[in-house]
Amino acid sequence: MRYVIGVDSSTQSTKAAVVEADSGRVLAVGRAAHTVSGEAGARESDPEQWWRALAQAVAAALDGLDPRAVTGIAVAGQQHGLVVLDAAGRPLRPALLWNDTRSAPQAAALTAELGPDAWLERTGSVPVASMTAAKWQWLRENEPRAAHAAAAVRLPHDFLTERLAGVAATDPGDASGTCWYNTATRAYDPGLLDLLGLDAALLPAVAPTGATRVGSLTATAAAALGLPEDIAVAAGTGDNMAAAVGMGLGRAGLLDHPVVSLGTSGTVFTATLARPATAALAGFAAADGTYLPLGCTLNCTLAVDKVAQLLGLDREDAAPGGEAVLLPYLDGERTPDLPGASGLLTGLRHATTPRQLLGAAYEGAAFTLLRALDALPGATATDTPLRLIGGGAQGRTWVDTVRRLSGRPVVLPRTTELVALGAAALAAGAATGEDAVAVATAWGGGDGETLPPLARDQAAWDRIAAVLHTYLRLGTR
C-alpha cells in the first residue's frame, strides 16, 4: 500500500492528511493550531510556527501508520502572505498575511501607476490590499531595513516547500496571487518587478504545475517529520488551487463548475481554459496549467462567529433576518474593495430578535460572496449546482442561507478536507508523473450529496443589495 501526504497550511491551522494513493481514501488527518496577531488592520504570523505545526500535524496523522509507505508530500498554503528571509532562510519578521489590510494605500498607488487595464492584461488581477505586491510595497515604505535585508521573498507555501526539499520553488497558481507574476507569459514580469524594486533573484523558481516534482525530502526534514528521505516533494500550490484539484476541477476533469468556499474568508471560483481579465475577479492561474478566476471576501465564517459571540448565541441558533440587514465587514472588505470598511447594521425594529440579527449576519456574508458569482465564466446558469466547501459547508445554517439566497442546487462533497486532498493529489502526481486532476477525479473528491434548489428569497436579496448600494456610495475605504 502506498501513501501520500497533503498539507493544508491555512490562516488558523495546519492539517495533514495521509491518503491511500490508489483509492484516495483519507486514512488520517492531523491538526495543529496557528497564532495570528495584530490589530487595526494588521494580521501577522511567525512562519516558524507553520513549520512546527506541519511537523506536529504530520506526526499526528501518521500515528499508527507505517511512514515507510509514504511516497510523496505536497503543501497547499494560504495565498498572498509575504515572507521575507535572511541568507540562512530564517524569517526577518513575522509574515504579513493575506487579510492584513495595512497595504491598502500601496495597492491603490500601484493601481494608479499603471491603470487597472494594464494590471489585468499582465497579471489578470488589479492590486488590492491582499495581494503580495502591495504588502512588499508596504514593507519597503514602512520597514525599509527589513526589505533591504531580505535575501529571499517567499509565499507561505513556498517557505514550507523549501523547508521540505531544500529547493526554492513555487507554482503558477500561488505565484499568480502576487501581482508580479504574468499569467499571459507564465513567468515573473520584469517590468512589474522593476516597478516594485524587487530583484527576481530573491524569488523562487516557478515549476510548470503544482504536481511537478521539485525535489526530494531532505535528511533534516525527514528527521523532523519521521518520514523516509528522498520521497517526492511536489511544487504544491495555494489553498484555493488545491481545493480545485481536490474536487477534480481542471483540464482533466470539470470545467466551468462554480465553487463556493466558506472559510475564514469566502471564495467563489471555477476552472476554465480561458484566461480571465475582469476587475471583478482575481484572474489566477490554476495548479494544472488552466485558470482559476476567483472572487474573494474577507469576512465569512469568522465574522459570523464573532456576531454569534457578541449575541451570546450558538452559531446555529439563527433565524432569517427579517427587516434587519447586517454587513459583517469586520476586517474591511476585499470584494467589494473596501479595505477601511467596518460592519454595518440597519433595519432594526422592536420585534427584531437576537436570532434574526445572527441570521442577518449570515445573509450579509453569503450575499456578498454570492454577488461575486455573476462575474465567473459559466456561473450564471441557475440550474448548474454550486459546490459548497469549507468549514461553513458543514454547518446547517450556512448551507440553508446559501440555498435560500442563491435559489440553486447545491452539491456537498463527501470529502471535507479538500485542500489537503488536493495537495495529496499533487503529491501523487509528483511521485508517479500522473495528472493530479485526473488522480483526484478517480478518487471522487468532488462527489457528494446534491440538495435541490430552494425558492430564492428575492426580498432578502434586494434588501441587502439596496443597503450595500448605499454603503458603496458613501465611499468607505
Binding residues: 79-80
Q: Please tell me the distance from the alpha carbon of residue 206 to that of residue 187, in angstroms, as a whole number.
A: 7
Q: Any residues with CB less than 8 A from the CB of 112 and at least 6 apart, and which?
A: none
Q: Please tell me the distance from the alpha carbon of residue 359 to that of residue 397, in angstroms, as a whole number.
A: 8
Count CB atoms within 10 A of the CB of residue 55.
Answer: 19
CB-CB contact of 306 with 330 (8 Å): yes
List Cα–Cα distances, 175 to 116, 123, 201, 207, in angstroms: 19, 10, 15, 10
Is 171 labeled as catalytic in the residue annotation? no
Q: Where are the beta strands (DSSP E) in 12-167?
A: 13-20, 26-33, 44-45, 70-77, 83-85, 95-96, 152-154
Sign of CA dihedral 239, 304, 379, 372: negative
CB-CB contact of 426 with 437 (8 Å): no
Considering 100, 171, 174, 239, which one is annotated as catalytic? 239
Q: Looking up cell 488592520, which residue turns up?
A: 41
Could you tell me which residues are annotated as the binding site for substrate? 79-80
CA dihedral 424, 430, 435, 441 (to 10 degrees): -10
CB-CB contact of 31 with 81 (8 Å): no
Helix (H) or strand (E) holding 423, with range, is: helix 418-432
* Cell representation of residue 161: 516547500
Specify the 3-state DSSP secondary structure of 321: coil
Residue by residue, DSSP assigns 263-310 as SSSEEEE--BSSPP--TTSEEEEPTTSSEEEEEEES-SHHHHHHHHHH
Please identify every residue annotated as catalytic: 239
